Amino acid sequence: MFGPAPLSNLAISLDAPSFEPLEPLLDELEDRPVLAAIGAALMAGVGPSVVQHLRNSGLVSVLDLRLFDDPHRMALLVEVAARAGVAGLTVQLAAGEASVRSAVVAARGRLPIVGVLSPPWLPEPAVVAAAATMAERCGVAGVMGTPRALRAADAERRFGLRWAIQLSAESSRSADVSGFVTEAIEAASTTVFVGRAVLQAPAPGAVIDQIRARLDAEVTHGRATR
């Protein structure tokens, strides 16, 4: 199985169509050991140069594009991502085994492919477990989903990367962040993805530091995995 390099235990999802609304946050991120998660809106709005822009700011990026395409196009998209030098790429497991396998083959060990489990609004354990089994057959480096989905998919910790995300309806409510982080830790997540709760916070740096402190404390006490 592909052995992914250690990554930060916190990723900030840059959910915006351009850099303009993100500039204050990017200033905060420069001095903090976090991942920058590039979503489809930012990639479409800025283009592939977004990766180099963030690298110039000292940030390691992952592409959270959740690709869903046929095997041929999936391979082409993975090739573009690999050349950009990102530290990870998400693909939808719902795209099917042929497409997911094509993504893994196209990556050729240059970047980890992380499979997105069933959509957060359909977190049925049986469906998630089946998707995880298929992902393992394809050789993905990890899986992404809600803490509940991660527990159902990876009880045996088969994957080196377990990326935790919130339900869309919850992601903008900062009051839910603490509970989400707790659930992510209990699900043995290796990286926690936080978006609007940070982007919309009056003091985003303070929110980031609070989450990092919690995650780092868990690592120190041996309760989180890498």
- Output the six-digit token pair for 143: 């899986």
Q: Is the pLDDT assigned to residue 5 strictly greater than 70?
A: no
Kindly report the average pLDDT of the chain as a whole number.
87
Classify 162 as helix, strand or coil.
strand
- Output the six-digit token pair for 186: 């209990």
Q: What is the average pLDDT across 202-209?
A: 91
- Give the whole-angstrom CA distance, residue 189 versus residue 162: 5
- Output the six-digit token pair for 156: 């045996």
Please give the pLDDT value at position 40.
Answer: 93
Residue 52 or residue 224, greater confidence: 52
**Cβ–Cβ < 8 Å for 145, 154:** no
Condensed to tens digits (0 to 9), the pLDDT of residues 12-39 reads 999 899 999 898 899 889 888 999 999 9
Confidence of residue 197 (pLDDT cuts 50, 70, 90): confident
CB atoms within 10 A of CB 58: 11
- Give the whole-angstrom CA distance, residue 51 versus residue 43: 9
How far is CA 136 from each of CA 97, 140, 185, rounded to the nearest angstrom? 10, 6, 22
Q: Is the pLDDT assigned to residue 140 strictly greater than 90?
A: yes
Q: What is the average pLDDT across 134-143?
A: 95
Q: What is the average pLDDT across 206-226?
A: 75
Confidence of residue 173 (pLDDT cuts 50, 70, 90): low
H or E stretch at 127: helix 125-138
- Give the whole-angstrom CA distance, residue 75 versus residue 100: 9
Identify residue 11 by its one-letter amino acid code.
A
Contacts of residue 157, defined as CB under 8 A and 6 or more positions apart, other chains included, come to 188, 225
Q: What is the average pLDDT across 29-54?
A: 92
Domains of the chain: 10-220 (3.20.20.70)
Confidence of residue 206 (pLDDT cuts 50, 70, 90): very high
Q: Is the pLDDT assigned to residue 155 strictly greater than 80?
A: no
- Give the whole-angstrom CA distance, residue 54 versus residue 17: 15
Q: Is the pLDDT assigned to residue 220 strictly greater than 80?
A: no
Q: What sections of 187-225 are H helices per DSSP?
A: 196-199, 204-220
Please give the pLDDT value at position 103.
Answer: 98
Q: Is the pLDDT assigned to residue 194 strictly greater than 70?
A: yes
Q: Is the pLDDT assigned to residue 168 strictly greater than 80?
A: no
Condensed to tens digits (0 to 9), the pLDDT of residues 54-104 reads 999 899 999 999 999 999 999 999 999 999 999 999 999 999 999 999 999
